[in-house]
Amino acid sequence: MLKAAAELMQKHIILDTDPGIDDSLAILLAAASPEIVVDGVVSVHGNVSTEQTTRNALAVLELAKAGHVPVYKGCDLPLVKESLLSPETHGDSGLGYAELPEPLNQPGAGHGSDYIIERIMSEPGEITLVCIGPLTNVALAIRQEPRIVENVKEAFIMGGAIQYPGNTTALAEFNTFVDPHAAHIVFHSGMPITLTPLDVTYQCVFTKDDLNRLLKINSPITKFIADSTRFYMEFHDEYQSIEGCVINDPMTLALTFMPEICDYQDLVVDVDLSTGVGLGNTFADFYNYEKKPKNMRVAMGVRPRLFMEMFLERMEKLAQGAFAQGSESNG
Ligand code: RIB
Ligand code: CA
């Protein structure tokens, strides 16, 4: 009876992602979180090409013994801008120094944005979108089927920097800079959005001490985390003098089942589409000078160790095989 009740409480999510090192950690956290069910993963361009993000999503799901979760390939390019990838941050493979076997599974037939539409429209009010890459797929889905805006349960988005410096330009965060036009469409769609900006994710640094705690467990999971985050830590040290690495994406996913990690403000948020230095910059009209409706809930305060302790505990359990579920292949 308890299991049935727990299953009823589970959130069904679609993960739209550009794995990517921190995206991969979000996939591992999803596999270790019984509060959520990943109905499907949709890949997008961003940290690396969509060919690579699709392969990485399949490979990391299989590493997590979640190969039954389908992956659908999404957009290869931003809606308007030229492609921008970040091999300096995530490595040419997108997984840093980690090496995973070629995945057993293939991506599902059809475009990722069509999958987003099909799932949301087939279960109105039941599907939660978790968007941890550029928003190209979600924007395309909104333009193809505007009714997903009122039929999605809610959308959790990793992106933007409100009162915090950019991590890609002086002002702009990577996901909103890579595809600002997609971000603009999604931000102004009316979709119920919770935004997780750099303002809070940069308080959540995965350190060498955190890694050493996980490495007490000898497992392909902990080896993957070590090999991928070692590259990510080198990037953060070289470019931002941070000791450790900022794990933006698992923190965003965590808010779907542990909202108490953050404090929130309902705000009027916009993204700059001008072609100057501000392109992709996100900002909030805190005093609402233009009397616009507040278009999202923004995480502006965070309890970093509350998140990190939960993340580490769940990675330990995953590494110990506590969540092995489903078959290796979704074939
Ligand atoms: O700015 C951080 C975001 O950009 C994260 O989602 C990271 O994976 C990259 O996509
Ligand atoms: Ca990402």
Q: Specify which residues 14 forms β-bridges with.
A: 40, 129
The three-class DSSP label of residue 264 is strand
Q: How far is the CA of 26 from the centre of ligand 2 (A)?
A: 9
Beta carbons within 8 Å of 138's beta carbon, 6+ residues apart? 16, 113, 116, 129, 131, 155, 182, 186
Please state the domain extents for the chain: 10-319
pLDDT at position 325 is: 54
Q: Specify which residues 196 forms β-bridges with.
A: 158
20 touches ligand 1 (CB under 6 Å)? yes
Mean predicted lDDT score pLDDT of the chain? 95
The CATH class of the 10-319 domain is: alpha beta
**Residue whose token pair is 């009876």:** 1
Q: Which of 174, 204, 251, 271 to mutate to test the pocket of ligand 1 (most atoms within 8 A of CB)?
A: 174
Q: How far is the CA of 130 from the centre of ligand 2 (A)?
A: 11
**Buried residues in 104-124 as b, exposed as e (16+ CB within 10 A):** ebebbeebbbbbbbbbbeeee
pLDDT tens digits, one per residue of 52-70: 999 999 999 999 999 999 9
Q: How far is the CA of 269 from the centre of ligand 2 (A)?
A: 20
Q: How far is the CA of 18 from the centre of ligand 1 (A)?
A: 8
24 touches ligand 1 (CB under 6 Å)? no
- Angstrom distance (rounded) from CA 186 to CA 200: 21
What is each CA distance from 206 to 89, 137, 157, 242, 300, in whole angstroms?
15, 29, 20, 10, 19
pLDDT at position 225 is: 98
Mean pLDDT lowest among 19-28, 98-107, 320-329: 320-329
167 touches ligand 1 (CB under 6 Å)? yes
Q: Which of 16, 22, 201, 206 to mutate to test the pocket of ligand 1 (most atoms within 8 A of CB)?
A: 22
- Angstrom distance (rounded) from CA 160 to CA 164: 9
The pTM score is 0.96
Mean per-residue pLDDT, 236-250: 96
- 7 band by pLDDT with thresholds 50, 70 and 90: low
Give me the residues near ligand 2 (ion), CB cutoff below 5 Å: 18, 20, 23, 132-133, 249
pLDDT at position 3 is: 65
Mean per-residue pLDDT, 195-221: 98
pLDDT at position 327 is: 41
Beta carbons within 8 Å of 241's beta carbon, 6+ residues apart? none
pLDDT higher at 3 or 102:
102
- Angstrom distance (rounded) from CA 60 to CA 217: 18
pLDDT tens digits, one per residue of 294-312: 999 999 999 999 999 999 9
- 185 band by pLDDT with thresholds 50, 70 and 90: very high
> 57 near 38, Cβ under 8 Å?
no
Q: Which of 249, 251, 252, 253 to mutate to test the pocket of ligand 1 (most atoms within 8 A of CB)?
A: 249
Q: Which ligand is nearest to the CA of 46?
A: 1
Q: How far is the CA of 8 from the centre of ligand 1 (A)?
A: 31
Q: Which atom of ligand 1 is nearest to the CA of 134?
A: 10
> 10 near 34, Cβ under 8 Å?
yes
pLDDT at position 125 is: 98
Q: Which atom of ligand 1 is nearest to the CA of 18?
A: 10
- Angstrom distance (rounded) from CA 105 to CA 245: 30
pLDDT tens digits, one per residue of 254-294: 999 999 999 999 999 999 999 999 999 999 999 999 999 99
Q: How far is the CA of 220 from the centre of ligand 2 (A)?
A: 22
Instruction: Output DSSP code: residue 261.
Output: G
Atom 2 in ligand 1: which residue has the minimum CA distance? 174
199 touches ligand 1 (CB under 6 Å)? no
- Angstrom distance (rounded) from CA 46 to CA 217: 32
158 touches ligand 1 (CB under 6 Å)? yes
pLDDT at position 2 is: 67
